[in-house]
C-alpha cells in the first residue's frame, strides 16, 4: 500500500531506524493491479502488525525515490512481505508491480508507525475495516493472530470494487474458517454469479450487522482511501463507537 509517510516513528529512543539492503525472493500477482513482494532483509529488527516501512529505489544516475508501504507479513514470519498496488501515474509503484524480479535489490527502513498496531496480547474484540488495498496492514494482524492460534473475536469487513480486485482471495477464504474470525466482503461495482456477500457501499446497516457492537468496546482498525476512511469513521461514531477507539490510516498516491 503506497501512501504519504506521515506517521509517527516507533523506536526505543536508542536504536536508530537504519536502511537495510533487501533482496527480492519472490513476487506474487494478487490482482491485475497488485502484487506481493517478499524480501530477505538481513538483520531485520522485526515489527508489530500494522506497521509500515520506507522503501528507497536508486537509479543508475543516482536519482532516488522513496515511498512508504504497509507490511503484509506477520512479525513471526522469517521474510518481509509488502503488497503494492499500481498507480498508473505513480513514479514507483509501476516499477514495483511491472518490472521488479526475484534477485533484485532495494533498500528498506523501519519498522515505522506506532498508533496503528495490534498484538495478540492486546486482546479483543477486534473490528477490522478495509477499503481496497487498506486490507494490507489488517492482513498482517490476521496472520499474527493465526500464528498464535488465537480465537479472539475478530470481524473483518472489506470493501472492494469487484471480486477480481480483492487481495488475498484464497487466503481469506481459508482463514474464514478459523475460530472466532468472521470475514465479510462488499463488492460495490460488480458481483460474480451467485454472490452472497454485500453489494453496496458501506452504510450503518452493514456495519451494524457485521459487529461487534460499541457496547463490546472493540479495538477498531480502519484503513483505506481518505474518503472511505472518513465516511466509515462517521458511521462508526453514529453507531456509538468512541472516536478514541478508532485507529485510522488513510492512503493514496503520492
Q: What is the pLDDT of residue 252?
A: 61
Q: Is the pLDDT of residue 14 over 70?
A: no
Q: What is the pLDDT of residue 16?
A: 64
pTM of the model: 0.91
Q: What is the pLDDT of residue 6?
A: 34
Q: What is the pLDDT of residue 62?
A: 86
Kindly report, as residue ranges, where domains of CATH 3.40.50.80 are found in the chain.
120-251
Residues contacting 210, CB < 8 A, separation 6+: 127, 155, 157, 182, 184
The half-sphere exposure of 35 on its side-chain side, counting CA atoms within 13 A, is 19
pLDDT tens-place string over residues 191-240: 999 999 999 999 999 999 999 999 999 999 999 999 999 999 999 999 99
Q: What is the pLDDT of residue 191?
A: 96
Pairing state between β 2-3 and 64-70: antiparallel
Q: How confident is the model at residue 114 (pLDDT cuts 50, 70, 90)?
A: confident
pLDDT tens-place string over residues 67-108: 999 999 999 999 999 999 998 888 899 999 999 999 999 999
Q: Is the pLDDT of residue 4 over 80?
A: no
Distance CA(67)–CA(2), nearest Å, equals 7
HEC-encoded secondary structure of the chain: CEECCCCCCCCCCCCCCCEEEEEEEEEEEEECCEEEEEEECCCCCCCCCCCEEEEEEECCCCCEEEEEEEECCCCCCCCEEEEEECCCCCCCHHHHHHCCCCCCEEEEEEEECCCCCCCHHHCCCEEEEEEHHHHHHHHHHHHHHHHCCCCCCEEEEEEECCHHHCCCHHHHHHHCCCCCEEEEEEECCCCCCCCCCECCCCCHHHHHHHCCCHHHCCEEEEEEEHHHHHHHHHHHHHCCCCHHHEEEEEECCC
Kindly report, as residue ranges, where domains of CATH 2.40.30.10 are found in the chain.
2-112
pLDDT tens-place string over residues 33-75: 999 999 999 989 899 999 999 999 988 888 899 999 999 999 9
Q: Is the pLDDT of residue 9 over 70?
A: no
Q: Is the pLDDT of residue 188 over 60?
A: yes
- Quick one: CA dihedral 114, 135, 95, 25, positive or negative? positive
Q: Considering only residues 232 and 1, tell me which one the structure prediction assigns the higher pLDDT.
A: 232
Percent of all residues in the chain with a pLDDT value above 90, rounded to a whole number: 84
On whether the 120-251 domain is CATH 3.40.50.80, my answer is yes
Do the Cβ atoms of 202 and 186 come closer than 8 Å? yes
Distance CA(230)–CA(35), nearest Å, equals 26
Query: Looking at residues 142-163, what average pLDDT do you find?
Result: 97
Judged on CB neighbours under 10 Å (0-12, 13-18, 19+), 137 is buried
- Please tell me the CATH superfamily of domain 2-112, with its number: Translation factors (2.40.30.10)
Q: Is the pLDDT of residue 2 over 90?
A: no
Q: What is the pLDDT of residue 214?
A: 94
- Quick one: CA dihedral 45, 47, 53, 55, positive or negative? positive
Amino acid at each position: 500500500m503506497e501512501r504519504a509517510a506521515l506517521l509517527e516513528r516507533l523506536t526505543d529512543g536508542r536504536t536508530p531506524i537504519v536502511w537495510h539492503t533487501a533482496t527480492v525472493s519472490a513476487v506474487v500477482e494478487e490482482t491485475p493491479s497488485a502484487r506481493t513482494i517478499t524480501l530477505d532483509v538481513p538483520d531485520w529488527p522485526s515489527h508489530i502488525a500494522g506497521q509500515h516501512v520506507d522503501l528507497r529505489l536508486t537509479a543508475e544516475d543516482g536519482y532516488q525515490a522513496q515511498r512508504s508501504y504497509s507490511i503484509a507479513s506477520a512479525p513471526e514470519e522469517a521474510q518481509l512481505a509488502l503488497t503494492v498496488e499500481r498507480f498508473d501515474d505513480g513514479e514507483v509503484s509501476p516499477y514495483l508491480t511491472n518490472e521488479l524480479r526475484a534477485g533484485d535489490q532495494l533498500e528498506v527502513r523501519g519498522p515505522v508507525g506506532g498508533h496503528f498496531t495490534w498484538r495478540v496480547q492486546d486482546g479483543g474484540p477486534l473490528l477490522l475495516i478495509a477499503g481496497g488495498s487498506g486490507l494490507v496492514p489488517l492482513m498482517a494482524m490476521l496472520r499474527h493472530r493465526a500464528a498464535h492460534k488465537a480465537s479472539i473475536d475478530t470481524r473483518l469487513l472489506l470493501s472492494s470494487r469487484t471480486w477480481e480486485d480483492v487481495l488475498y482471495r484464497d487466503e481469506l477464504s481459508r482463514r474464514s474458517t478459523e475460530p472466532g474470525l468472521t470475514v465479510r466482503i462488499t463488492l460495490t461495482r460488480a458481483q460474480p454469479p451467485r454472490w452472497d456477500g454485500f453489494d453496496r457501499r458501506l452504510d450503518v446497516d452493514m456495519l451494524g450487522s457485521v459487529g461487534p457492537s460499541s457496547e463490546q468496546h472493540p479495538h477498531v482498525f480502519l484503513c483505506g482511501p481518505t474518503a472511505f476512511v472518513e465516511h466509515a469513521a462517521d458511521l462508526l461514531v453514529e453507531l456509538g463507537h468512541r472516536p478514541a477507539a478508532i485507529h485510522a490510516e488513510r492512503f493514496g498516491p503520492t
